[in-house]
Amino acid sequence: MRSMLLAAGLLALAACHSAEDAAPKADSQARAVNVVTLEPRVLAGAIAASGPLIPREEAAVAPEVTGFRVARVLVEEGAYVRQGQTLAQLDPALLEAQIAQQSALAQQTQVQAERAAAEAARVQGLDAQGVLSAEDVQGRQFAARAAQANAAAQQAALRDLRTRQAKLSVTAPVAGLVLERAVRPGDLAAGGATPWFRIARDGEIELEAQLAEADLARVRSGQQVTVELTGGARVQGTVRLVEPAIDAQTQLGAVRIRLPAHPQVRAGGFARAIFVGGAAPVLAAPESAIRYDADGASVMVVDPDNRVRQVAVKTGARGGGGWVELVSGPPAGSRVLQRAASLVLPGDVVKPVQAQAAPAAAAPAAKAAPQQPAAKP
């Protein structure tokens, strides 16, 4: 019996030594791979879009009265005007004659109204004395009221002519930059759809950049934008508005970018916007970590037990420095193989080595200060 117990103990001790020897052997066979931890980052410099230069708000100016000749045009295209400034003057000669005639007619009817009122006052109460019939008294009262109404109508017609006279001066409804002038001296003011002047309110011109729907989510109001003009100049703009609607045909959305005053910022021109910073951070992975095959895109995730598994992903925008947005896939904090081409299969046990990732804020790098020479000992 004692010999049997001793043999069993020796066998158990040998099994323990074999397991201890096998563990280091398995660890020594694990492949060392570089891994990157997924985290939100700003994909700066990843978005560029073009579009037309348009006024932020445009005022169309046309004459409010018709049938009069243009006497003078007082402003040219490119002029800055203030609110209420006269842009064009219509010939007042015809209207002045009409006003003189109507003024005389209004005075005449006013005199007639006063006379009728006096006659009605003189017969007031005579019907009770039997001098005049009640019908005659009421007739004079009605005549006085009719004369007064006629006088009021003529005064209203006179006010209408004087209002038209004031409208002979075509004025600017807002202050701003005159973009277009479509009237000449001698033209006849006639009703039509073509305005005489187009004014950019306060002279503000902005860029209407067209972006894909996926890129709109990474742009926010107040974001700084570098705008390249056709002449080669660059100006710094600010995102004023991200329009909420997407064009159903082009699948593009518009971003309004406020621009500073510049000689090359002209309405009707074309410009290109580069969104250089301030965008919302997104979950991103190195482009080298994305594996593409017949089933689509995927990454190799290293679990806490250092075992590899393949996870499908959906990619989005690509940014500077070789980073790709992950619209769907593993959550933030997951470790993925830095290189999808590594000779690793799902289920393999690896030895992860944390790779050095680029800074999350991928803003344009500033110029490094010149290094000072090392001091001699």
pLDDT digits (tens, 9 = 90+) for 237-259: 999 999 988 988 888 999 999 99
- Predicted confidence at residue 128, as pLDDT, reads 56
d(CA 245, CA 253): 6
Are the C-beta atoms of residues 68 and 90 closer than 8 Å to each other?
Answer: yes
Separation of alpha carbons 106 and 87, rounded Å: 33
- Range 117-138 average pLDDT: 71
DSSP lists the bridge partners of residue 199 as 59, 178
**b/e sequence 164-190, b meaning 16+ C-beta within 10 Å:** bbebbbbbbebbbbbbbbebeeebebe
Which comes out higher in pLDDT, residue 230 or 15?
A: 230
Q: Is 222 left (phi over 0), alpha (psi -120 to 50) or beta?
A: left
Residue 204 in this model has a pLDDT that exceeds 80 = yes
Question: Would you place residue 370 in the very low, low, confident or very high pLDDT band (cuts 50, 70, 90)?
Answer: very low
* pLDDT value of position 45: 56
Greatest CA separation for the chain: 164
Half-sphere exposure of 142 (CA within 13 A, CB side): 6
Question: How far is the CA of 318 from the CAs of 49, 285, 292, in angstroms?
Answer: 14, 10, 16
Encoding tokens for residue 151? 């006088």
Average pLDDT for the chain: 82
The pLDDT value recorded for residue 375 is 41
Q: Would you tell me how many other CB atoms lie within 10 Å of the CB of residue 163?
A: 11
Strands 270-275 and 224-229: antiparallel
| 51 has a pLDDT exceeding 50 | yes
Task: Provide mean pLDDT across the span 29-49.
Answer: 81
Q: Is the pLDDT of residue 23 over 60?
A: no
Q: Tens digit of pLDDT for each residue in 64-109?
A: 998 899 999 999 999 999 999 999 999 999 999 999 999 999 999 9
Distance CA 344, CA 165 (A): 88
Distance (Å, rounded) from C-alpha 342 to C-alpha 289?
9
Least Cα distance to 153 among 190, 112, 198 occurs for 112
Q: What is the pTM of this model?
A: 0.57
For the stretch 286-337, pLDDT in tens is 989 999 888 889 999 999 999 999 999 998 777 667 888 888 999 999 999 9
Where are the extended beta strands (E) located within 175-223? 176-181, 197-201, 205-212
The whole-angstrom separation of Cα 178 and Cα 87 is 10
Among 174-178, 278-282, 365-369, which range has the highest average pLDDT? 174-178
Amino acid at 166: A
200 exposed, middle or buried (CB, 10 Å; 0-12, 13-18, 19+)?
buried
> Edge-to-edge, what's the strand order for the sheet holding 70-73?
70-73, 86-90, 169-171
The average pLDDT across 2-27 equals: 49
CA distance 174 to 85: 9
Residue 123 near residue 136, CB atoms below 8 Å:
yes
How far out from the chain centre does Cα 281 lie?
21
Tokens of 204: 């503000």
In the predicted structure, residue 149 carries a pLDDT above the cut 90: yes
